[in-house]
């Protein structure tokens, strides 16, 4: 079969590989549509996970099941499914401890385009099919379904990690597709105000639709100065970080009230250390929490988030700014994600 692979750091292309084999608990699937993720860019061009050779890229798609193992109960060939980017081993000790995304080791629940071949291929393999796949609701089209692989669960997880509550003033740093879903989730959780940080005009327009009430640009001075100016010097209750880099934590701590919480879902692709400003961290005693996490995967979460979209409570269609048709556009879509033109939110390829 054909797959689009990372040949080595900085180089990618189409390769031929054997089609994946199906174990007793597994499924083999064929993508119906795939989306490119900023994480693919960190992995391929920044080498953020380290070297990978001939590894098929991609972890965002929806798909049709083509084969299932003898022990799979709830899925059969022909089913159309939602596929989470993170596919844990549900019988692992880490999953039993509540951290399925780290089943088998840190970040090891993230298998596609990390520890095994991803979804930019004619066929791909899903471990623990009953635990990880979800039926694709008939009301959700294949382009929107791709947003449920990663953008919705990651953006929503940022809001869970920041523990957003009714009436909170929330700062969302980064309003690419992930941060936009954090804005939407903060609004669903009852935030009173949502301050969004970003510059791309269509991301700002989408953030308004999702419930952002104020906007600041990280290009117009420091984030903390602008946040403190907007909040009478008090800072915000909660912060979701979905963009920036290692230095963004400094700005976040300085923008946060004592007792505030930061939820980071940004993939720190470069830099060795995250520096915490000593004084603004309350000289170690400010009760300012930092939680960083990989999105949870799994069937239950996919079913619940899918239900939110199917019920019309969450419109993900604003995210897919560039929709292509056919595998021959995959590389173009990938390069678009790398170059991030001003009108880009998310590129999707229908198959
Ligand atoms: P985008 O690149 O589309 O968006 C990044 C956002 O951050 C943009 O709004 C951008 O602004 C803003 N930004 C850029 N530089 C800065 C800065 N210095 N300070 C503040 N804001 C800045 O990314 P995505 O939304 O696609 O993804 C966000 C991150 O989430 C990525 O690192 C991705 O790898 C990660 N991720 C993490 C997952 C997880 O499970 N934890 C899963 C999926 C993705 P501008 O408008 O100017 O472009
Ligand atoms: Zn992704």
Q: Is the CB of 264 under 6 A from ligand 1?
A: no
What is the per-residue pLDDT for 83?
Answer: 98
Beta bridge partners of 181: none
Residues 62-91 pLDDT 10s: 999 999 999 999 999 999 999 999 999 999
Which residue CA neighbors atom 14 of ligand 1 most closely? 244
Compute the distance between CA of residue 291 and CA of residue 289 in angstroms, rounded to an integer: 6
Q: Is the CB of 294 under 6 A from ligand 1?
A: yes
β pairing state of 256-264 and 289-292:
parallel
CA of 244 to the centre of ligand 1 (A): 6
Residue (of 31, 81, 79, 80) closest to 59 by Cα position: 31
The angle formed by the CA atoms of residues 44, 60 and 312, to the nearest 5 degrees, is 145
Q: Give yes or no for a contact between 57 and 113, defined as CB atoms under 8 angstroms apart.
A: yes
What is the per-residue pLDDT for 337?
Answer: 96
What is the end-to-end Cα distance of the chain in Å, rounded? 15
Provide CB contacts within 8 A for 204, sequence distance 6+.
175, 196, 198, 212, 215
Compute the distance between CA of residue 286 and CA of residue 278 in angstroms, rounded to an integer: 10
HSE value, Cβ hemisphere, 13 Å, CA-based, for 155: 31
Q: Give yes or no for a contact between 112 and 47, defined as CB atoms under 8 angstroms apart.
A: no
Q: Write out the two tokens for 221.
A: 């001075």
Residues 157-182 pLDDT 10s: 999 999 999 999 999 999 999 999 99
Q: Does domain 154-292 have CATH number 3.40.140.10?
A: no
CA of 237 to the centre of ligand 2 (A): 27
What is the per-residue pLDDT for 270?
Answer: 85
Q: Give yes or no for a contact between 55 and 9, defined as CB atoms under 8 angstroms apart.
A: no
Q: Do domains 2-150+295-350 and 154-292 have the same CATH topology?
A: no
Of 176, 241, 267, the one to substitute when testing ligand 1's pocket (max ligand atoms within 8 A of C-beta) is 176
Using CA atoms, how far residue 102 sits from 105, 111, 140, 290, in Å, is 5, 10, 29, 18
Q: What is the mean pLDDT of each run of 10 residues along the chain (351 residues)?
A: 97 97 98 96 91 97 98 98 98 97 96 96 98 98 98 98 98 98 98 97 97 97 98 98 97 98 93 95 98 96 98 97 98 96 96 97
What is the per-residue pLDDT for 118?
Answer: 98
Ligand number nearest to the C-alpha of 147: 2
CA of 177 to the centre of ligand 2 (A): 10
Q: E-assigned strands of the chain?
A: 2-8, 11-16, 27-35, 55-56, 60-68, 80-83, 124-126, 134-135, 169-173, 193-197, 214-216, 236-241, 256-264, 289-292, 322-325, 347-350
Please give the backbone phi and psi of residue 181, each rounded to the nearest 5 degrees, phi first: -70, -25
Residue (of 263, 41, 275) closest to 173 by Cα position: 263
Q: Write out the two tokens for 209.
A: 């639709």
Provide CB contacts within 8 A for 88, sequence distance 6+.
94, 95, 100, 101, 103, 109, 128, 131, 132, 297, 298
Ligand number nearest to the C-alpha of 181: 1
CA of 198 to the centre of ligand 1 (A): 9
Q: In what order do the strands lie in the sheet with 2-8?
A: 11-16, 2-8, 55-56
CB neighbour class for 73 (10 Å; exposed up to 12, middle 13-18, buried from 19): exposed
Atom number of ligand 1 nearest to Cα 267: 32
Compute the distance between CA of residue 192 and CA of residue 98 in angstroms, rounded to an integer: 30
Q: Is the CB of 66 under 6 A from ligand 1?
A: no
CA of 59 to the centre of ligand 2 (A): 6
Q: What is the DSSP string of 46-63?
A: S-TT---SSEE---EEEE
Q: Give me the CATH topology for the region 2-150+295-350.
A: Quinone Oxidoreductase; Chain A, domain 1 (3.90.180)
CA 242 vs. chain centroid, Å, equals: 9
Provide CB contacts within 8 A for 332, sequence distance 6+.
324
What is the per-residue pLDDT for 196?
Answer: 98
Residues 256-298 pLDDT 10s: 999 999 999 999 888 899 999 999 999 999 999 999 999 999 9
Q: Is the CB of 319 under 6 A from ligand 1?
A: no
Which residue CA neighbors atom 1 of ligand 1 most closely? 176
The overall longest dimension of the chain from CA atoms, in Å, is 62
Of 243, 246, 267, 347, the one to substitute when testing ligand 1's pocket (max ligand atoms within 8 A of C-beta) is 243
Give the start-to-end residue ranges of the domains of the chain.
2-150+295-350, 154-292
Q: Give yes or no for a contact between 39 and 110, defined as CB atoms under 8 angstroms apart.
A: no
pTM over 0.95: yes
What is the per-residue pLDDT for 266?
Answer: 96
Complex ipTM value:
0.97
């Amino acid at each position: 079969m054909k797959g689009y692979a990372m040949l080595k750091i900085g180089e990618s292309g189409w390769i031929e590989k054997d089609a994946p084999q199906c174990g007793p608990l597994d499924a083999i699937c064929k993508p119906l549509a795939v989306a490119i993720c900023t994480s693919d860019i960190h992995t391929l061009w920044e080498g953020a996970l380290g070297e990978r050779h001939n590894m098929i890229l991609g972890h965002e798609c929806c798909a049709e099941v083509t084969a299932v193992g003898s022990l799979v109960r709830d899925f059969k060939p022909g089913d159309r499914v939602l596929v989470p980017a993170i596919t844990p081993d549900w019988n692992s000790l880490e999953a039993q401890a509540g951290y399925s995304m780290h089943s088998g080791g840190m970040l090891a629940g993230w298998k596609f385009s990390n520890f095994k071949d991803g979804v930019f291929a004619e066929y791909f393999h899903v471990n623990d099919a009953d635990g990880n796949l979800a039926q694709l609701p008939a009301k959700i089209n294949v382009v929107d379904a791709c947003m449920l692989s990663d953008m919705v669960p990651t953006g929503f997880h940022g809001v869970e990690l920041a523990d957003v509550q009714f009436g909170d003033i929330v700062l969302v740093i980064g309003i690419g597709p992930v941060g936009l879903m954090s804005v939407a989730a903060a609004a669903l959780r009852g935030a009173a105000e949502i301050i969004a940080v970003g510059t791309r005009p269509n991301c700002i327009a989408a953030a308004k639709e999702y419930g952002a009430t104020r906007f600041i640009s990280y290009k117009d001075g420091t984030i903390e100065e602008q946040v403190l100016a907007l909040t009478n010097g008090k800072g915000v209750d909660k912060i979701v970080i979905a963009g920036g880099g290692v230095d963004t934590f400094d700005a976040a701590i300085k923008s946060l009230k004592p007792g505030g919480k930061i939820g980071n879902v940004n993939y720190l692709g470069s830099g060795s250390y995250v520096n915490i400003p000593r004084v603004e961290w309350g000289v170690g005693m400010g009760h300012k929490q930092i939680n960083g996490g990989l999105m949870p995967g799994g069937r239950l979460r996919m079913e619940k988030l899918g239900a939110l979209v199917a019920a019309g409570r969450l419109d993900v269609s604003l995210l897919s700014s560039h929709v292509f048709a056919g595998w021959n556009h995959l590389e173009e879509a990938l390069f678009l994600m790398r170059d991030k033109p001003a009108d880009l939110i998310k590129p999707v390829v229908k198959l």
